């Protein structure tokens, strides 16, 4: 990674997932600094991972890559504290706050900084995240590579062609875990109503979802082909799939994700937090 020193402003869940991911990849704890308005959060990270306790001002003065890992509603204040500390420096800044655009970040930080927006999701907490990225024109190839390496420590990351695509990423992978949780919850409930033990229904649902995802990830076949391989003509799977199709599952998913994307766009246009 081209960055020599990484600083996290905000030490909540996202910093708490990226830091151990970096350490697992061989990054030195002495080259990671964390700051937060809540000293207890910083203490937990320092105690657990031996990283440096710092301040926003010190991170602004020392770090090559600064990760703004605060909530969207706290971003303006975080940038206001950071900006004076930068002086004439031009470190790479990455924001993981949903709904805060590059234009708004440049307004708060100054328009001469290389900035990357990142839309992660909660499975990053266990190293299985999926993140969408978009950089402004000031971020060079080496800085983009640094961001990729940073986010690959907690999963996969992909670059978007347009900043507006991050609204779709928010709707798809950012909010996506909740969709799968809902579907899994519905599967468990259905099995229990049919008489299956609750603990058994829970374990089987979880393992089935996990196995299906791993099968997709490890296979070169398209989803429709994998689905067809499980769906014998006249069999049990076909009976269930027909119900999903006849009752408009595809259309429901389409409208749900479109609604989430539109909501993300509304927050971005308003400069406010996304869900």
193: domain CATH number is 1.10.3730.10
pLDDT at residue 274 in the model = 45
Does the pLDDT value for residue 273 go beyond 90? no
User: Where is the domain boundary, 163, 196, 225?
Assistant: 163
pLDDT at residue 37 in the model = 94
Secondary structure letter of residue 115 according to DSSP: E
Closest among 93, 125, 101, 9 to 56, alpha carbons compared: 9
User: Where is the domain boundary, 163, 192, 227?
Assistant: 163
Domain extent for 216: 176-267
Global pTM? 0.90
pLDDT at residue 98 in the model = 87
Are 126 and 149 within 8 A, CB to CB?
Answer: no
Whole-angstrom distance, CA of residue 27 vs CA of residue 4: 10
Using only the alpha carbons of the chain, give its radius of gyration: 21
pLDDT at residue 232 in the model = 95
Q: Edge-to-edge strands of the sheet including 52-53?
A: 52-53, 32-35, 6-9, 65-68, 92-95, 115-119, 129-135, 155-159
pLDDT tens-digit map of 11-55: 998 899 999 999 998 899 999 999 999 999 999 999 999 999 999
Does residue 215 sit in the same domain as residue 147? no
Does residue 211 sit in the same domain as residue 150? no
Tokens of 237: 């799977």
Q: Taking residues 178-188, what's their average pLDDT? A: 98
Whichever domain contains 64, its CATH number is 3.40.50.720
Q: What is the dihedral of CA 101, 103, 109, 115, to 10 degrees?
A: 70
Are 95 and 118 within 8 A, CB to CB?
Answer: yes
Report if residue 171 sits inside a domain. Answer: no
Does the pLDDT value for residue 135 go beyond 50? yes
Q: Taking residues 148-165, what's their average pLDDT? A: 96
Does residue 98 sit in the same domain as residue 202? no
Whole-angstrom distance, CA of residue 16 vs CA of residue 11: 6
Does residue 28 sit in the same domain as residue 130? yes
pLDDT tens-digit map of 83-106: 999 989 999 999 999 889 999 999
Torsion sign over Cα 80, 85, 86, 87? positive
Does the pLDDT value for residue 262 go beyond 70? yes
Does residue 43 sit in the same domain as residue 110? yes
Whole-angstrom distance, CA of residue 111 vs CA of residue 104: 10
Report if residue 168 sits inside a domain. Answer: no
Closest among 45, 59, 65, 71 to 114, alpha carbons compared: 65
Does residue 24 sit in the same domain as residue 149? yes
Does residue 193 sit in the same domain as residue 247? yes
Total count of domains within the chain: 2
Does residue 208 sit in the same domain as residue 100? no
pLDDT at residue 1 in the model = 59
pLDDT at residue 25 in the model = 87
Does the pLDDT value for residue 275 go beyond 50? no
Q: Taking residues 188-214, what's their average pLDDT? A: 98
Does the pLDDT value for residue 190 go beyond 60? yes
Does residue 77 sit in the same domain as residue 38? yes
Does residue 188 sit in the same domain as residue 244? yes
% of the chain residues with pLDDT over 70? 97
Report if residue 74 sits inside a domain. Answer: yes
User: Where is the domain boundary, 163, 192, 216?
Assistant: 163
């Amino acid at each position: 990674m081209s960055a020599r020193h990484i600083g996290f402003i905000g030490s909540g869940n996202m910093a708490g997932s990226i830091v151990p991911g970096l350490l697992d990849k061989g990054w030195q704890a002495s080259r990671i600094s964390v700051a937060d308005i809540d000293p207890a959060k910083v203490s937990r990270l320092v105690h657990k991972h031996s990283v440096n306790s710092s301040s926003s001002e010190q991170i602004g003065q020392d770090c090559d890559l600064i990760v703004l890992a605060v909530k969207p509603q706290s971003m303006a204040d975080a940038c206001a504290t950071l900006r004076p500390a930068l002086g004439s420096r031009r470190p790479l800044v990455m924001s993981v706050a949903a709904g805060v655009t590059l234009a708004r970040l440049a307004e708060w930080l100054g328009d001469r900084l290389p900035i990357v927006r990142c839309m992660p999701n909660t499975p990053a907490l266990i190293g299985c995240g999926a993140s969408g990225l978009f950089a402004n024109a000031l971020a060079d190839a080496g800085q983009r590579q640094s961001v990729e390496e940073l986010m690959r420590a907690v999963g996969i990351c992909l670059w978007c062609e347009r900043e507006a695509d991050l609204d779709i990423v928010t709707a798809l992978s950012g909010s996506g875990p909740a969709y799968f949780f809902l579907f899994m919850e519905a599967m468990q409930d259905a099995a229990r109503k049919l008489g299956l033990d609750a603990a058994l229904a829970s374990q089987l649902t979880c393992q089935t979802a996990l196995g299906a995802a791993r099968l997709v990830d490890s296979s070169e076949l398209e989803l429709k082909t994998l689905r067809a391989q499980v769906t014998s003509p006249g069999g049990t799977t076909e009976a269930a799939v027909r119900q999903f199709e006849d009752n408009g599952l595809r259309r429901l998913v389409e409208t749900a994700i479109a609604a989430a994307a539109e909501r993300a766009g509304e927050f971005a246009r308003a400069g406010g937090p996304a869900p």
